[in-house]
């Protein structure tokens, strides 16, 4: 239980950092040494302006110095990071909880970037894949080969679909970033969990398309759908609750 409270208390600060990464990493902006500043007036933010969740609420979503709207993106990431820790803490404990939170936070970051700019950076997906194999080796060694097969199969399935789409449509459809993400998820949930990951991802993607259609925006064949967001959600659900088919548990 103490580990749960540690992870839960750390999660808003982790979420705040993830929000910065999601905004800066795709643009190649520095995040390691540069201090946070208002995007509107450029004023360097003080420590009291950077307290996760509390600062946003205290300032009512506006910059302390120029009063321009801050936007709720980082706040949503901070709350989502807490949800990751809370949902993981309801299923696992100890060091598996730590590994689960790291997985969930990385998936949250990837989903946030893919949602914003339709990009799944290799600098995130490849370490996630290696981490999944490492966790499987040290914690689930008797089934490690299943996780290795899951990584290979995850890339092979979506990679083949992406190649086939390119040959048939003569343009990019499903990116290799999605294939690398599914490979990483296969490393975590093993090959037995991959069908359910894809099923969850497809169902959530369909719901997204239906909602867009109902709100009048519609979905065209040329539209870019952030499928990585839905794969990440599917992978998280399978990691916490297992495959939908009991025979594959």
Q: Rounded CA gap, 200 and 195, in Å?
A: 9
List the structure tokens of 174: 């499903």
Q: What is the pLDDT along the chain (249 residues), one digit of tens a residue?
A: 588 899 999 999 999 899 989 988 887 766 665 666 666 666 666 666 667 787 777 777 777 777 777 777 888 999 999 999 999 999 998 889 999 999 999 999 999 999 999 899 999 999 999 999 999 999 887 889 999 999 999 999 888 877 776 676 666 656 688 999 999 999 999 999 999 999 999 999 889 888 877 776 665 655 677 889 999 999 999 999 998 765 444
Report yes or no: 244 and 196 within 8 Å, Cβ to Cβ.
Answer: yes
Looking at residue 190, its pLDDT comes to: 95
**Chain-centre distance for alpha carbon 205:** 15
List the structure tokens of 231: 């794969």
Q: Residue 46: which of 64, 19, 58, 60 has the closest Cα?
A: 64
Q: Rounded CA gap, 136 and 139, in Å?
A: 5
Looking at residue 249, its pLDDT comes to: 45
**Chain-centre distance for alpha carbon 244:** 21
Neighbours of 137 (CB within 10 A): 12
**Chain-centre distance for alpha carbon 111:** 4
Q: Rounded CA gap, 149 and 54, in Å?
A: 44
Looking at residue 60, its pLDDT comes to: 73
Q: Which residues partner with 44 through β-bridges?
A: 37
């Amino acid at each position: 239980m103490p580990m749960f409270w540690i992870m839960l208390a750390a999660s808003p600060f982790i979420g705040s950092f993830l929000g910065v990464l999601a905004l800066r990493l795709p643009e190649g902006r520095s995040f390691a040494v540069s201090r946070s500043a208002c995007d509107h007036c450029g004023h360097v933010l003080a420590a009291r302006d950077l307290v996760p969740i509390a600062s946003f609420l205290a300032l009512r979503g506006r910059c302390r110095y120029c009063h321009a709207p801050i936007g709720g993106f980082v706040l949503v990431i901070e709350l989502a990071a807490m949800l990751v820790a809370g949902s993981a803490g309801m299923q696992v404990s100890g060091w598996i909880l730590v590994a689960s939170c790291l997985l969930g936070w990385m998936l949250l970051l990837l989903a946030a970037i893919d949602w914003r700019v339709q990009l799944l950076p290799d600098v995130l997906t490849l370490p996630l894949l290696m981490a999944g194999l490492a966790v499987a080796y040290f914690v689930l060694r008797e089934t490690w080969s299943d996780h290795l097969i899951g990584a290979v199969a995850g890339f092979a399935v979506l990679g083949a679909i992406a190649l086939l789409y390119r040959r048939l449509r003569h343009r990019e459809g499903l990116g290799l970033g999605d294939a690398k993400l599914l490979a990483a998820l296969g490393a975590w949930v093993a090959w037995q969990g991959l069908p359910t990951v894809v099923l969850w991802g497809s169902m959530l993607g369909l719901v997204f398309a239906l909602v867009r259609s109902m709100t009048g925006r519609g979905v065209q064949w040329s539209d870019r759908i952030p499928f990585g967001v839905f794969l990440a959600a599917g992978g998280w659900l399978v990691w916490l609750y297992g495959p939908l088919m009991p025979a594959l548990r």
